[in-house]
Structure 1
Amino acid sequence: MVTLAFIEVGSFILRFVGTCAVFYPFFLCRTIGAGDIKLMGVVTGFLGVWDGMLVIGLGMVFAAAAASYRMIKQGTVWFRLERAARFAVETGIKGRLTEYPGYFEKESLLRLGPYLFAGYCLFLLIQ
């Protein structure tokens, strides 16, 4: 019985750390916050790899829809696409991860927590 508990805890920790490792480069570029990555790690730790990735994917779809709506409403779609393209080219030229421009603009930040929760709710509905 105790051995089974250790296996479950070890499995949780492995999934948590693995998810955090996958998303860590996005944190280094300042495109995702550390809290969002830890939340994704906890989701994957509790639900398992495939269900956790489904919830994260659904949450990202909700976040993308919200970000698109916000950019259209603000009229900044082309500006942000240009900035993202410039970031990708600059990172490729330098050959290393660089910081995403505009990270410290408070009006452009999008917290992923509510969207991951929406992804989890949709996951529960389709399960």
Structure 2
Amino acid sequence: MSSPPWRVTPTGLEVRVRATPRGGRDALDGIEIRDDGASVLKVRVRAAPEDGAANAAIRDVLRRALGLPASAVALATGATARIKLFRIAGDGPVLAARLDALTHGPPKGAPSKDGA
């Protein structure tokens, strides 16, 4: 199994993101294993990749998903690339656990345990 697309750092977390601008909605879309074996967190946003709008929208999706203020999430590399690195300030292990829960929950459309 591949390692997750995030890494705990002394100041928080670094997250590798695969951006999908003009994606029709703003959402985390799970984890993808790329051909080179690296994993990325897929983030889809409605914003177009113009004037930093998509990067700002991705930052907003990440901060909302983790319950953080906007100042806690910063784009580190990849401003014009599809693969980006975001740095998230805070308690790294707690943030990693939150992302893990958000990306490894029950599959969409899966029946509940009681069969309903």
> TM bucket by the smaller chain?
under 0.3
| Structure with the largest fraction of helix | 1
TM-score by length of 1: 0.26
Structure number, greater radius of gyration: 1
TM-score by length of 2: 0.27
